[in-house]
């Protein structure tokens, strides 16, 4: 294929992405947009050959360093939004570039460029090399292409699906919201899709290519009753093929969004104070992610920031608690075939029957702890350096029923959904807003609640988990992203219904 400049490519691919809004499917081979395969993509489209990579890596190691790597990215994103049934926004975005990293100990030299030319990449590599000041090292003379499993296979690229195929499902979600209740006065519905192609080449001879889809359909509603307004919303998605988005999916999104809004008209504030809290399955796993998971990322531990930094091999929970971080669950948002350092996607047991058995490692942290990387090295884009990050983090199911968990509580609250959380990573202190839930009275769910915060400490919450139900659910949304160090990456989470014997509930003093 004829090589073209980045500026021409960006202009062409952006135009091509925009064409999908008004025209049928693009022909296969149109600057790679319709290619579902990954092998050789960056070489075919941008001339990124092994010999060029060796030259750039040699420059990155020209002043020494422990190792170096190259990260190439080409991402195309599309978004379509309807407001009350009318298209009010539709746009595309294209990102293209390369990041070059040199590592010395736990120090990182980093440079990036938006121009995939030899001269630009050598300049970025020279910038990265300044972290070291020793004798030059040579990169591997040959790169071995990593053999990977595919946890998110595609039949077709969503960037090649025209608007006329996307609009009906968005319109269906919109119409269903209005049809479900006369109290619905406003609906916003939309669809987001992204294809992210990456190529990782390392100085130790690893080469990995991947195509990472991300997409979701959503609806948010406003309901009005007697002059009072309430809001609700929902989304479904992940790393899906377009065939996932059926009429049934649109209806599920609409019903959930409407139900979340309508129930709030009957909601009350529970009494404030320390009390048992039952966390429902699925989406409440965000507490596990935020209040506990971050503390098990290896960089926070090697820097002695996390409360878990001295807890490897020690008890952190009851024996029925096992926590896993897993990049291999098909089509979930946090799944990865390969991480951003060229390490295969894998499953890592963090807490094994109550014992902290592993952190989440990137290459730097793995070298520090003298273990293998767990495949948790991730970054937002080619402009960002690697950090240990979660993938899909969840707690294994217990042996009792959800009804048994609720029946065990005389007075407390049941949390169905949370949002707007704040967490101190080191200490694990957190506060989350409960957007959906109910009061528990004498072992039964009663009035819905609203305007409630729950507060606590992650490690303490983990120790205070006294029951786990047998209904593990993973959150099936596609819109969330985890923030850390100024970067956002897609992650998944989940858990079964569980009982925390005591948490602080910020309700009404009585």
Q: Average pLDDT, stretch 19-41?
A: 49
Are 466 and 410 in the same domain? Answer: yes
- Residue by residue, what is the 3-state secondary structure of 396-438? CCCCECHHHHHHCCCEEEEEEEEEEEEECCCCCEEEEEEEEEE
Share of the chain above pLDDT 70, in %: 92
Domain count, the chain: 2
Which tens digit of pLDDT belongs to each residue from 412-460?
A: 999 999 987 788 887 889 999 999 999 999 999 999 998 899 999 999 9
- 255 and 281 share one domain: no
Give the residue from 76, 71, 61 showing the smallest Cα distance to 112. Answer: 71
304 assigned to some structural domain: yes
My answer on whether 289 and 242 are in the same domain is no
DSSP annotation string for 13-71: HHHHHHHTTTSSPPPTTSTTTT----TTHHHHHH---HHHHHHHHHHHTBTB-SEEEEE
How many Cβ atoms sit within 10 Å of the Cβ of residue 328?
17
Mean pLDDT of 359-365: 98
DSSP state of 476: -
Residue 149 counted as domain residue: yes
Q: Please report, for the domain that includes residue 141, its CATH number.
A: 3.30.2290.10
- Phi first, then psi: give them for residue 504, nearest 5 degrees: -85, 125
Asked, for residue 443, whether it belongs to a domain, the answer is yes
Domain boundary, last residue among 212, 232, 263: 263
Nearest to 61 by CA among 208, 201, 199, 203: 203
**Total-model pTM:** 0.92
Answer yes or no: do 243 and 278 share one domain. Answer: no
Same domain, residue pair 167 and 239: yes
Q: pLDDT by residue (tens digit) across 85-144? A: 898 889 899 999 999 999 999 999 999 999 999 999 999 999 999 999 999 999 998 999
Same domain, 321 and 466: yes
Owning domain of residue 491:
273-506
Cβ–Cβ under 8 Å, residues 424 and 299: no
Domain's final residue, options 204, 229, 263: 263
Residues 313 and 193 in one domain: no
Q: Is residue 268 part of a domain?
A: no
Residue 212 lies in a domain: yes
Q: Would you say residue 34 lies in a domain?
A: yes
Whether 106 and 141 map to the same domain: the answer is yes
Q: Are the beta carbons of 162 and 20 closer than 8 angstroms?
A: yes
Q: Do 242 and 299 belong together in one domain?
A: no
Same domain membership, residue 348 and residue 199: no
Containing 170, the helix (H) or strand (E) segment is: helix 163-180
In this predicted model, what pLDDT tens digit does every residue of 238-287 receive, in sequence order?
999 999 999 999 999 999 999 999 999 999 989 899 999 999 999 999 99
Q: Are 343 and 360 in contact (CB under 8 A)?
A: no
Main-chain phi, psi angles of 485, to 5 degrees: 55, 35
Whole-number average pLDDT of the chain:
91
Answer yes or no: do 235 and 366 share one domain: no
Do 232 and 297 fall within a single domain? no
Q: Is residue 1 part of a domain?
A: no
pLDDT of 20: 38
CA 60 to chain centre: 30
Residue that finishes a domain, picked among 197, 230, 263: 263
Is residue 490 situated within a structural domain?
Answer: yes
Element spanning 261, H or E? helix 247-262
pLDDT band at 15 (very low <50, low <70, confident <90, very high): very low
């Amino acid at each position: 294929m004829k090589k073209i400049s980045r500026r021409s490519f960006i202009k062409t691919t952006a135009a091509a992405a925009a064409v999908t809004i008004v025209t049928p499917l693009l022909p296969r081979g149109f600057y790679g947009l319709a290619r579902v395969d990954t092998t050789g993509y960056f070489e075919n489209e941008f001339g990124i050959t092994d010999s060029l990579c060796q030259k750039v890596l040699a420059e990155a190691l020209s002043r020494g360093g422990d190792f170096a790597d190259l990260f190439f990215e080409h991402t195309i994103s599309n978004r379509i939004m309807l407001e009350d049934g009318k298209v009010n926004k539709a746009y595309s975005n294209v990102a293209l570039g390369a990041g070059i990293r040199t590592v010395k100990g736990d120090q990182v030299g980093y440079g990036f460029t938006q121009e995939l030319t030899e001269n630009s990449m050598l300049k970025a590599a020279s910038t990265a090399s300044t972290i070291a000041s020793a004798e030059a090292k040579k990169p591997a003379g040959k790169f071995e292409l990593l053999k990977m499993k595919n946890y998110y296979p595609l039949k077709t690229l969503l960037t090649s699906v025209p608007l006329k195929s996307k609009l009906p499902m968005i319109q269906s979600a919109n119409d269903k919201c209005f049809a479900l209740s006369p109290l619905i006065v406003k609906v916003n519905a939309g669809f987001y899709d992204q294809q992210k192609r990456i190529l990782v080449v390392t100085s130790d001879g690893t080469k990995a290519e991947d195509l990472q889809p991300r997409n979701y359909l959503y609806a948010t509603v406003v309901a009005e009753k007697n002059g009072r307004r309430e809001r609700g919303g929902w989304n479904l998605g992940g790393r899906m093929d377009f065939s996932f988005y059926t009429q049934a999916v649109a209806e599920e999104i609409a019903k959930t969004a409407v139900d979340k809004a309508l129930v709030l008209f009957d909601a009350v504030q529970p009494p404030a104070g320390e009390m048992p809290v039952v966390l429902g399955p699925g989406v409440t796993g965000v507490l596990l992610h935020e209040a506990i998971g971050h503390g098990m990322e290896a960089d926070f531990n090697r820097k002695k920031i996390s409360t878990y930094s001295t807890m490897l091999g020690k008890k952190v929970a009851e024996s029925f608690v096992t926590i896993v971080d897993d990049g291999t669950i098909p089509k979930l948002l946090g799944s990865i075939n390969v991480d951003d350092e060229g390490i295969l996607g894998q499953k890592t047991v963090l807490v094994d029957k109550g014992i902290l058995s592993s952190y989440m490692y990137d290459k730097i942290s793995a070298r520090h702890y003298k273990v293998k990387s767990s495949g948790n090295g991730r970054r937002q884009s080619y402009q960002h350096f690697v950090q240990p990050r979660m993938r899909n983090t969840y707690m294994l199911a217990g042996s009792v029923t959800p009804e048994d968990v609720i029946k065990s509580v005389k007075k407390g609250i049941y949390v169905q959904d949370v949002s707007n959380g704040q967490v101190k990573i080191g200490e694990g202190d957190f506060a989350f807003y409960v957007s959906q839930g109910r009061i528990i009275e004498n072992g039964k769910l009663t009035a819905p609640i609203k305007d409630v915060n729950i507060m606590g400490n992650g490690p303490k919450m983990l120790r205070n988990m006294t029951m786990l139900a047998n209904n593990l659910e993973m959150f099936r949304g596609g819109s969330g992203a985890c923030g850390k160090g100024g970067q956002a990456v897609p992650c998944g989470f989940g858990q079964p219904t569980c009982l925390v014997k005591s948490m602080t509930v910020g309700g009404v003093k009585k």
